[in-house]
A = this chain, B = another copy of it.
Amino acid sequence: MRPSGRDLSEMRPVSIETGITKHAEGACMIRVGDTHVLCTASVEERVPPFLKGGGQGWVTAEYGMLPRATTTRMRREASAGKQGGRTVEIQRLIGRSLRAGVDRQALGERQITVDCDVIQADGGTRCAAITGGWVALRLAVNRLLKAGDLTSDPLGEPVAAVSCGIYAGQPVVDLDYPEDSEAGVDGNFVMTGDGRLIEVQMSAEGQTFSRDQMTRLLDLAGDGVAQLAEAQRAAAA
């Protein structure tokens, strides 16, 4: 029933490749099906003004898309002169999600910026960005721990995200672009590797959904995130 032939609860294949750029403190290319996102983590020994002197660190994120990551070329945001509303929403979500998994006291007064740039898009880019972004963050923190700049580990369980939606009347997990553009109800679940919730965003366009469907979507998301967390642990080992 799904265009890709997948089962309702079947994720796309996931790969996370590290060691892909020589400058960033942490980096990976995550591929979730045909969605490819390059994630880098940059460490700076300073925090934003509102945190100065408080002994706590900060994790923030930025998101972008190459103009031809999509089926037809999209206008470059730098040339349009501003980030669109969608971009701003997504990067706020990535930052919040990653921070939920960080002990900011343990991180100390430093900032880690996670950049997520979509090289090729086929649905679910923000989820891939969160999942890959956590790996980049993990690798950057590993380096700080190894260098002795950190004495206790500020990261706990992996943070990962998966999209879910109602496609052709059925709750499904990990929507690709053909599903995403058809689904009237869809959203994203950000969770930890041990099944706790960080962010739930379900949204209907021009229709509604029932409480039972919501329950099923939460189940699907939990299973999907558990699989992603395994891939994250393997990549950052």
Contact = CB atoms under 8 A, between A and B. Distances in A.
A196 B104 CA distance: 38
A79 interface: yes
Interface stretch (A18-26, A127-135, A145-153): A18-26
Interface in A14-41: 21-24, 27, 34, 38, 40
A205 B83 contact: no
**Secondary structure of the A side of the interface?**
mixed
A73 B44 contact: yes
A132 to B, nearest CB: 14
A230 interface: no
A70 interface: yes
A99 interface: yes
Interface in A180-228: 187, 192, 195-211, 213-214, 218, 222
Contacts of A34: 22
Residue with the highest number of chain B CB atoms closer than 10 Å, among A22, A79, A89, A207: A79
Residue with the highest number of chain B CB atoms closer than 10 Å, among A23, A27, A205: A23
A203 B208 contact: no
A114 B208 CA distance: 20
A105 to B, nearest CB: 10
A117 B27 CA distance: 17
Given A68-B21, A82-B78, A73 B199 contact: no
Contacts of A38: 66, 119
A73 B42 contact: yes
Contacts of A81: 81-82
A92 interface: yes
B187 A210 contact: no
Nearest to A114: B68
Contacts of A202: 197, 199-200
A192 B208 contact: yes
A49 interface: no
A186 to B, nearest CB: 11
A22 B120 contact: yes
Contact of A210 (B40, B78, B117, B196): B196
Nearest to A208: B196
A67 interface: yes
